[in-house]
Amino acid sequence: MSDETVEVGDILRVSCAFAPTQVVNVSEWDVSIVWPWEQIDPASASQWNGRCAIPRRQGSFESRTSLFQTDPAPWTLSAGDSCGVGIPEQLVRVIDIGYCDPPQDVGWLPRPHTMLIVLPVDLEDPEGLAEGDTISLPSVAPIRFELV
């Protein structure tokens, strides 16, 4: 399945194999890890530092909408710990799609040309206010998704 066949409202089964990484920093709200996939874009105006923040508060809205998870759970981690990061298989609904031509300068390579904004299917959002999480395409992360 290609990203061109995905439409708003579609249900996708999404997953990403867990990769080893290192915890760099821990705050009350998130765990900052070294991102094991995409590389820093030296020509970017965004100055990405090669890290990603994973929501840390157990049961929070942010942790429920975040695709990427750590193993062990983020609220158990401390700076310097080793962990895994990936996406446990789950069903998500596409709530928006962004197309970028030229590909978007986000700070890493490859620069994405498509951004699928998704929410877990079991998350109720009757007001349509949730921002969801983003699947950036292309991605070096081995994200798998299929139309359900």
| pLDDT digits 0-9 by tens, 78-121 | 999 999 999 999 999 999 999 999 999 999 999 999 999 999 99
Choice between 117 and 2, residue whose per-residue pLDDT is larger? 117
**Residues 46-54: what's their mean pLDDT?**
94
Percent of residues, the chain, with pLDDT higher than 70? 93
Which one-letter DSSP state was computed for residue 33?
Answer: E
**Counting Cβ atoms within 10 Å, is residue 146 exposed (0-12), middle (13-18) or buried (19+)?**
exposed
Q: Rounded mean pLDDT of the chain?
A: 92
Overall number of domains in the chain: 1
Q: Identify the H or E element spanning 38.
A: none
Distance from C-alpha of 122 to C-alpha of 42, rounded to nearest angstrom: 39
Among 28-42, 55-69, 100-114, the least confident range: 55-69
Q: Is the pLDDT of residue 146 over 80?
A: yes
Percent of residues, the chain, with pLDDT higher than 90? 82
* Residues of the domain holding 97: 3-147
3-class secondary structure, 47: coil
Q: What's the pTM value of the predicted model, to 2 decimals?
A: 0.90
